[in-house]
Amino acid sequence: MNAYLCDDQKHIALANSSFKNTLLRDDFTIRCGGKLLDLSQPRVMGIINVTEDSFFADSRSRALADVVSKASRHLLEGAAILDIGAQSTRPGATKVGADQEMERLLPAITAILKAHPEAIISIDTFYASVAACCVKAGAAIINDISAGDLDEAMIPTVGALRVPYIAMHMQGSPDTMQQHPHYENVVQEVLDYFIQKLAVCKQAGMEDVIVDPGFGFGKTIAHNYTLLRHLAAFRILEAPLLAGVSRKSMIYKVLGNTASDALNGTTVIHSMALERGARLLRVHDVKAAMEAVTLYHTLATA
Protein backbone atom coordinates (compact mmCIF):
# COMPACT_ATOMS: atom_id res chain seq x y z
CA MET A 1 0.00 0.00 0.00
CA ASN A 2 2.83 2.43 0.80
CA ALA A 3 4.09 2.18 -2.77
CA TYR A 4 0.71 3.33 -4.02
CA LEU A 5 0.69 6.18 -1.52
CA CYS A 6 4.04 7.36 -2.86
CA ASP A 7 2.74 7.20 -6.41
CA ASP A 8 -0.33 9.21 -5.41
CA GLN A 9 1.88 11.83 -3.80
CA LYS A 10 3.87 12.05 -7.03
CA HIS A 11 0.67 12.58 -9.04
CA ILE A 12 -0.52 15.27 -6.65
CA ALA A 13 2.90 16.95 -6.66
CA LEU A 14 2.87 16.91 -10.46
CA ALA A 15 -0.61 18.39 -10.45
CA ASN A 16 0.45 21.10 -8.04
CA SER A 17 3.44 22.00 -10.20
CA SER A 18 1.24 22.18 -13.28
CA PHE A 19 -1.61 24.06 -11.64
CA LYS A 20 0.16 26.14 -9.00
CA ASN A 21 -2.62 28.66 -8.80
CA THR A 22 -5.48 26.18 -9.07
CA LEU A 23 -7.24 24.70 -6.05
CA LEU A 24 -8.67 21.20 -6.35
CA ARG A 25 -12.34 21.75 -7.12
CA ASP A 26 -15.49 20.58 -5.41
CA ASP A 27 -17.83 23.22 -6.87
CA PHE A 28 -18.93 21.27 -9.95
CA THR A 29 -22.20 21.75 -11.80
CA ILE A 30 -23.47 19.68 -14.70
CA ARG A 31 -26.15 20.69 -17.20
CA CYS A 32 -28.91 18.09 -17.45
CA GLY A 33 -31.38 19.15 -20.10
CA GLY A 34 -32.62 22.55 -19.02
CA LYS A 35 -31.43 22.14 -15.44
CA LEU A 36 -28.15 22.76 -13.65
CA LEU A 37 -27.30 20.09 -11.09
CA ASP A 38 -25.07 21.46 -8.34
CA LEU A 39 -22.48 18.94 -7.12
CA SER A 40 -20.88 21.18 -4.50
CA GLN A 41 -22.82 18.95 -2.10
CA PRO A 42 -22.55 15.25 -3.05
CA ARG A 43 -25.58 13.75 -4.79
CA VAL A 44 -27.13 10.31 -4.94
CA MET A 45 -28.02 8.36 -8.08
CA GLY A 46 -30.67 5.68 -7.58
CA ILE A 47 -30.34 2.45 -9.56
CA ILE A 48 -33.25 0.98 -11.52
CA ASN A 49 -32.51 -2.22 -13.44
CA VAL A 50 -35.02 -3.26 -16.11
CA THR A 51 -33.32 -6.64 -16.25
CA GLU A 52 -33.87 -10.19 -15.07
CA ASP A 53 -30.32 -11.00 -14.02
CA SER A 54 -28.66 -8.05 -12.27
CA PHE A 55 -26.52 -9.23 -9.36
CA PHE A 56 -28.75 -7.67 -6.66
CA ALA A 57 -32.23 -9.14 -7.07
CA ASP A 58 -34.05 -6.31 -5.29
CA SER A 59 -32.85 -3.85 -7.96
CA ARG A 60 -34.67 -5.67 -10.78
CA SER A 61 -37.91 -4.18 -12.12
CA ARG A 62 -39.38 -5.32 -15.44
CA ALA A 63 -43.05 -4.34 -15.09
CA LEU A 64 -43.58 -0.64 -15.80
CA ALA A 65 -45.64 -0.20 -12.65
CA ASP A 66 -42.70 -1.52 -10.62
CA VAL A 67 -40.29 0.75 -12.50
CA VAL A 68 -42.36 3.84 -11.74
CA SER A 69 -42.85 2.75 -8.12
CA LYS A 70 -39.11 2.34 -7.64
CA ALA A 71 -38.42 5.68 -9.33
CA SER A 72 -40.97 7.38 -7.08
CA ARG A 73 -39.39 5.87 -3.98
CA HIS A 74 -35.87 6.86 -5.04
CA LEU A 75 -36.97 10.45 -5.70
CA LEU A 76 -38.91 10.67 -2.44
CA GLU A 77 -35.85 9.48 -0.53
CA GLY A 78 -33.68 12.15 -2.13
CA ALA A 79 -32.13 10.80 -5.33
CA ALA A 80 -31.02 13.57 -7.67
CA ILE A 81 -30.62 11.19 -10.63
CA LEU A 82 -32.30 7.94 -11.68
CA ASP A 83 -29.90 5.54 -13.43
CA ILE A 84 -31.73 3.02 -15.61
CA GLY A 85 -29.95 -0.04 -16.96
CA ALA A 86 -31.22 -2.77 -19.26
CA GLN A 87 -28.22 -5.09 -19.22
CA SER A 88 -26.47 -6.87 -16.39
CA THR A 89 -22.71 -6.46 -16.57
CA ARG A 90 -21.86 -8.93 -13.83
CA PRO A 91 -19.36 -11.63 -14.90
CA GLY A 92 -21.10 -14.39 -16.83
CA ALA A 93 -24.26 -12.42 -17.59
CA THR A 94 -25.95 -12.90 -20.96
CA LYS A 95 -25.14 -10.03 -23.32
CA VAL A 96 -28.11 -7.98 -24.52
CA GLY A 97 -28.08 -6.28 -27.92
CA ALA A 98 -28.87 -2.64 -28.63
CA ASP A 99 -32.37 -3.35 -29.94
CA GLN A 100 -33.34 -5.30 -26.84
CA GLU A 101 -31.91 -2.60 -24.60
CA MET A 102 -34.07 -0.01 -26.35
CA GLU A 103 -37.15 -2.24 -26.03
CA ARG A 104 -36.60 -2.25 -22.29
CA LEU A 105 -35.42 1.33 -21.76
CA LEU A 106 -37.71 3.49 -23.88
CA PRO A 107 -40.98 2.47 -22.17
CA ALA A 108 -39.31 2.94 -18.78
CA ILE A 109 -38.15 6.46 -19.66
CA THR A 110 -41.59 7.41 -20.95
CA ALA A 111 -43.38 6.02 -17.90
CA ILE A 112 -41.06 7.67 -15.38
CA LEU A 113 -41.20 11.07 -17.07
CA LYS A 114 -44.98 10.87 -17.28
CA ALA A 115 -45.12 10.37 -13.51
CA HIS A 116 -42.18 12.68 -12.72
CA PRO A 117 -41.61 15.22 -15.52
CA GLU A 118 -38.73 16.90 -13.66
CA ALA A 119 -36.78 13.69 -13.04
CA ILE A 120 -33.18 13.57 -14.28
CA ILE A 121 -32.66 10.21 -15.97
CA SER A 122 -29.31 8.60 -16.67
CA ILE A 123 -29.05 5.67 -19.07
CA ASP A 124 -26.56 2.90 -18.37
CA THR A 125 -25.47 1.70 -21.82
CA PHE A 126 -22.34 1.19 -23.89
CA TYR A 127 -24.23 1.40 -27.21
CA ALA A 128 -24.13 4.75 -29.05
CA SER A 129 -27.42 4.03 -30.83
CA VAL A 130 -29.15 3.39 -27.50
CA ALA A 131 -27.70 6.59 -26.07
CA ALA A 132 -29.04 8.65 -28.97
CA CYS A 133 -32.55 7.15 -28.84
CA CYS A 134 -32.82 7.47 -25.07
CA VAL A 135 -31.74 11.12 -25.05
CA LYS A 136 -34.35 11.81 -27.71
CA ALA A 137 -36.91 10.14 -25.42
CA GLY A 138 -35.96 12.41 -22.52
CA ALA A 139 -32.89 10.95 -20.81
CA ALA A 140 -30.40 13.57 -19.66
CA ILE A 141 -27.16 11.66 -18.90
CA ILE A 142 -25.29 8.73 -20.46
CA ASN A 143 -23.50 6.31 -18.13
CA ASP A 144 -21.04 4.14 -20.08
CA ILE A 145 -19.17 1.35 -18.28
CA SER A 146 -16.63 1.22 -21.12
CA ALA A 147 -15.97 4.96 -21.55
CA GLY A 148 -16.43 4.46 -25.28
CA ASP A 149 -14.14 1.44 -25.59
CA LEU A 150 -16.96 -0.98 -26.52
CA ASP A 151 -18.48 1.27 -29.19
CA GLU A 152 -16.23 3.71 -31.03
CA ALA A 153 -19.26 5.79 -31.99
CA MET A 154 -20.19 6.50 -28.36
CA ILE A 155 -17.94 9.45 -27.58
CA PRO A 156 -18.67 11.34 -30.85
CA THR A 157 -22.37 10.62 -30.36
CA VAL A 158 -22.48 11.94 -26.79
CA GLY A 159 -20.39 14.92 -27.83
CA ALA A 160 -23.00 15.77 -30.46
CA LEU A 161 -25.87 15.18 -28.02
CA ARG A 162 -24.36 17.68 -25.55
CA VAL A 163 -25.35 15.70 -22.47
CA PRO A 164 -23.24 14.79 -19.42
CA TYR A 165 -21.23 11.60 -19.80
CA ILE A 166 -20.16 9.20 -17.07
CA ALA A 167 -16.95 7.52 -18.20
CA MET A 168 -16.03 4.38 -16.27
CA HIS A 169 -12.76 2.45 -16.25
CA MET A 170 -12.93 -1.26 -16.96
CA GLN A 171 -10.05 -3.60 -17.72
CA GLY A 172 -11.28 -5.98 -20.41
CA SER A 173 -14.97 -6.58 -21.16
CA PRO A 174 -17.81 -7.70 -18.88
CA ASP A 175 -17.39 -11.37 -19.84
CA THR A 176 -13.61 -11.42 -19.27
CA MET A 177 -12.87 -8.61 -16.81
CA GLN A 178 -12.64 -10.73 -13.66
CA GLN A 179 -10.60 -13.60 -15.09
CA HIS A 180 -7.11 -12.22 -14.50
CA PRO A 181 -7.13 -8.52 -13.53
CA HIS A 182 -3.56 -7.25 -13.51
CA TYR A 183 -1.92 -3.88 -12.93
CA GLU A 184 1.62 -2.82 -12.15
CA ASN A 185 0.12 0.14 -10.29
CA VAL A 186 -3.66 0.34 -10.34
CA VAL A 187 -3.88 3.96 -9.19
CA GLN A 188 -1.41 5.23 -11.75
CA GLU A 189 -2.82 3.17 -14.62
CA VAL A 190 -6.45 4.15 -14.00
CA LEU A 191 -5.46 7.78 -13.54
CA ASP A 192 -3.44 7.78 -16.76
CA TYR A 193 -6.41 6.17 -18.54
CA PHE A 194 -8.66 9.04 -17.51
CA ILE A 195 -6.13 11.72 -18.41
CA GLN A 196 -6.19 10.37 -21.97
CA LYS A 197 -9.94 9.69 -22.01
CA LEU A 198 -10.86 13.18 -20.80
CA ALA A 199 -8.77 14.68 -23.59
CA VAL A 200 -10.67 12.58 -26.15
CA CYS A 201 -14.02 13.58 -24.64
CA LYS A 202 -13.09 17.25 -24.68
CA GLN A 203 -12.01 16.99 -28.32
CA ALA A 204 -15.44 15.49 -29.10
CA GLY A 205 -17.14 18.55 -27.66
CA MET A 206 -18.16 17.25 -24.25
CA GLU A 207 -18.44 19.80 -21.47
CA ASP A 208 -19.57 17.65 -18.54
CA VAL A 209 -17.67 14.40 -17.97
CA ILE A 210 -17.96 12.46 -14.71
CA VAL A 211 -15.21 10.00 -13.81
CA ASP A 212 -15.99 6.55 -12.37
CA PRO A 213 -12.94 4.43 -11.38
CA GLY A 214 -14.99 1.28 -11.96
CA PHE A 215 -14.93 -0.56 -8.66
CA GLY A 216 -15.37 -4.27 -9.38
CA PHE A 217 -14.81 -3.98 -13.12
CA GLY A 218 -11.60 -5.76 -14.02
CA LYS A 219 -10.17 -5.42 -10.51
CA THR A 220 -9.39 -7.70 -7.60
CA ILE A 221 -10.54 -6.88 -4.09
CA ALA A 222 -7.05 -5.53 -3.36
CA HIS A 223 -7.20 -3.32 -6.46
CA ASN A 224 -10.60 -1.97 -5.38
CA TYR A 225 -9.43 -1.01 -1.91
CA THR A 226 -6.22 0.52 -3.21
CA LEU A 227 -8.29 2.70 -5.54
CA LEU A 228 -10.65 3.60 -2.72
CA ARG A 229 -7.82 4.44 -0.33
CA HIS A 230 -6.30 6.79 -2.89
CA LEU A 231 -9.48 8.04 -4.54
CA ALA A 232 -8.50 11.61 -3.68
CA ALA A 233 -5.66 11.36 -6.21
CA PHE A 234 -8.28 11.48 -8.98
CA ARG A 235 -9.30 14.98 -7.95
CA ILE A 236 -6.39 16.31 -10.02
CA LEU A 237 -8.50 15.43 -13.08
CA GLU A 238 -10.81 18.33 -12.15
CA ALA A 239 -13.88 16.26 -12.99
CA PRO A 240 -16.65 15.09 -10.65
CA LEU A 241 -15.96 11.65 -9.17
CA LEU A 242 -18.61 8.93 -9.04
CA ALA A 243 -18.33 5.98 -6.66
CA GLY A 244 -20.29 2.87 -7.60
CA VAL A 245 -19.74 0.41 -4.75
CA SER A 246 -23.29 -0.41 -3.68
CA ARG A 247 -23.60 -3.99 -2.36
CA LYS A 248 -20.68 -5.15 -4.52
CA SER A 249 -18.51 -8.20 -3.89
CA MET A 250 -15.64 -5.98 -2.70
CA ILE A 251 -17.85 -5.46 0.36
CA TYR A 252 -19.66 -8.72 0.95
CA LYS A 253 -16.71 -11.01 0.20
CA VAL A 254 -14.60 -9.19 2.78
CA LEU A 255 -17.43 -9.36 5.33
CA GLY A 256 -18.30 -12.96 4.52
CA ASN A 257 -21.94 -12.28 3.73
CA THR A 258 -24.02 -11.64 0.60
CA ALA A 259 -25.20 -8.69 -1.48
CA SER A 260 -28.51 -8.81 0.40
CA ASP A 261 -26.66 -8.34 3.71
CA ALA A 262 -24.22 -5.69 2.51
CA LEU A 263 -26.12 -2.46 3.21
CA ASN A 264 -24.20 -1.57 6.36
CA GLY A 265 -20.88 -2.28 4.67
CA THR A 266 -21.99 -0.22 1.68
CA THR A 267 -22.75 2.76 3.92
CA VAL A 268 -19.29 2.53 5.48
CA ILE A 269 -17.62 2.48 2.06
CA HIS A 270 -19.81 5.36 0.88
CA SER A 271 -18.55 7.43 3.82
CA MET A 272 -14.95 6.62 2.89
CA ALA A 273 -15.58 7.59 -0.74
CA LEU A 274 -17.19 10.89 0.26
CA GLU A 275 -14.24 11.77 2.48
CA ARG A 276 -11.96 11.20 -0.50
CA GLY A 277 -13.86 13.45 -2.88
CA ALA A 278 -16.74 11.49 -4.44
CA ARG A 279 -19.47 13.86 -5.62
CA LEU A 280 -21.91 11.19 -6.82
CA LEU A 281 -22.89 7.88 -5.24
CA ARG A 282 -24.58 5.30 -7.48
CA VAL A 283 -26.71 3.23 -5.10
CA HIS A 284 -29.45 0.67 -4.63
CA ASP A 285 -30.52 2.12 -1.26
CA VAL A 286 -31.14 5.85 -1.59
CA LYS A 287 -32.30 6.57 1.97
CA ALA A 288 -29.17 5.13 3.58
CA ALA A 289 -26.91 6.88 1.06
CA MET A 290 -28.64 10.21 1.64
CA GLU A 291 -28.07 9.86 5.37
CA ALA A 292 -24.36 9.29 4.71
CA VAL A 293 -24.25 12.35 2.44
CA THR A 294 -26.07 14.53 4.97
CA LEU A 295 -23.76 13.56 7.82
CA TYR A 296 -20.65 13.93 5.65
CA HIS A 297 -21.75 17.38 4.43
CA THR A 298 -22.52 18.49 7.99
CA LEU A 299 -19.03 17.45 9.08
CA ALA A 300 -17.35 18.96 6.01
CA THR A 301 -19.00 22.34 6.54
CA ALA A 302 -18.70 22.48 10.34
Interatomic CA distance for residues 130 and 150, integer angstroms: 13
| Mean per-residue pLDDT over the chain, rounded | 89
Reported as a pLDDT band with limits 50, 70 and 90, residue 61 is low
Q: Is the per-residue pLDDT at 4 higher than 60?
A: no
* Domains of the chain, start order: 42-301 (3.20.20.20)
Its sign, for the CA torsion 273, 279, 284, 290, is positive
Q: Is the per-residue pLDDT at 193 higher than 60?
A: yes
Helices and strands counted in the chain (H then E): 10, 10
Among candidate residues 197, 235, 248, 276, the one labeled active-site is 248
Mean pLDDT, residues 169-197 taken together: 87
Q: Is the per-residue pLDDT at 203 higher than 80?
A: yes
Please tell me the least confidently modeled range out of 23-32, 39-48, 71-80, 115-124: 23-32
Neighbours of 26 (CB within 10 A): 15
Q: Is the per-residue pLDDT at 53 higher than 80?
A: no
Q: Is the per-residue pLDDT at 115 higher than 90?
A: yes
Q: What percent of the chain has pLDDT over 70?
A: 86
Q: Is the per-residue pLDDT at 285 higher than 50?
A: yes
| 287 a catalytic residue | no
Alpha carbons within 13 angstroms on the beta-carbon side of residue 47 total 24
Mean pLDDT, residues 141-170 taken together: 98
Long-range contacts, stretch 69-74, CB < 8 angstroms, 24+ apart: 70/46, 71/46, 71/112, 71/115, 71/116, 71/119, 72/115, 72/116, 73/286, 74/46, 74/48, 74/286
Give pLDDT tens digits for 220-276: 999 999 999 999 999 999 999 999 999 999 999 999 999 999 999 999 999 999 999
Identify which has the larger pLDDT, 52 or 152: 152
Helix (H, G, I), strand (E, B) or coil at 151: coil
| 282 a catalytic residue | yes
